[in-house]
Each structure stands twice: as structure tokens, then as C-alpha cells.
Amino acid sequence: MAVQTYEVAYSTDGITYTALTNAQTLNINFGRQSQLDQIRAATASFSLRYPNGFTSPIAALVSGTFIRFRNTTGTAYVLFYGKITDVTARYGIPFSGGVGNADFLDVTCEGQFADIGRMQGNDYVMAAGDVVTQFGSANARYPYPFDGER
């Protein structure tokens, strides 16, 4: 079996993505973990090694930023697409320059289903009409990120 390579990228507009070069420990969950569990929204998480530490942070890595995981072996395809829900910093041992040798960000994300599920609580007004209109309106919050990928 061939070695698989993955890309984690972020976007503030949902269209133009910037790849993160130091993403590690990718984790994606879809649906159920056990047969009797209820179906849950898709979630993902990853750790990001911060090569320059927090002296030059990536300002866009905050809640609400679009995130995309892709398999880049052969023809690239999207594995997960959603928004960042939480970012936690883990500080390493500082060098004399102030940059740790083990600074990490732990990033958690949720897919569209979770975002749609809390729209009413976030005061998002859904369009009147049939269910196709409702989901079309909700889907407009997520630009199509796949660069022609199907």
C-alpha cells in the first residue's frame, strides 16, 4: 500500500486556502463510533507544530475560520471540510530567543451539520419555503471549497 500524504489548509473566505506545513496528528470523526450511538456531526482535530512559536502567530487560526483536510496522494480529494471551533496553545521549552522547541496549537473543527444545527441559536434567520430552500440558504454559508474536485 502506498504512503498517503495529507494537507490541512485554512481560509477566511472559504474560497482561497493556505496550506499549513506543520500539521500533525490528524483526527476525523463521522457519524457513529459504535453501532448503538446516535449519529453526530462530523468533527476533526489536529495539532500544529508552531515553527516560529507565538512570536509570529497565524492570526487567521481562530474560531469560525474555514478548514479543509485533503488527501494529496495521486488525485487530491477532500476528506473533511468545516470551521474551526476551538484553538488551544501548548507552550514548549523556550530558547534564549523566546521561541519554544515544542510549541503546538491544538485545533478542533466541526462540519456543516453542526453549524446548521445551531443556526437558530446564533440568530440566523432561515428563508421561508420548502426544505430545499431552507438547506440552500444554509449551504450558502459554506462556499464550495473543492477547486473542481469531486
Helix extents (H) in 10-74:
none
71-103 pLDDT tens trace: 888 888 888 888 999 998 887 766 655 555 677
Q: What is the pTM of this model?
A: 0.75
What are the structural domains of the chain?
6-112 (2.30.300.10)
Question: What is the C-alpha to C-alpha distance for residues 58 and 69, in angstroms, rounded to an integer?
Answer: 18
2-18 tens-digit pLDDT: 788 889 999 998 888 99
Residue 137 CB partners (closer than 8 Å, separation 6+): 126, 127
Radius of gyration of the chain (CA): 18
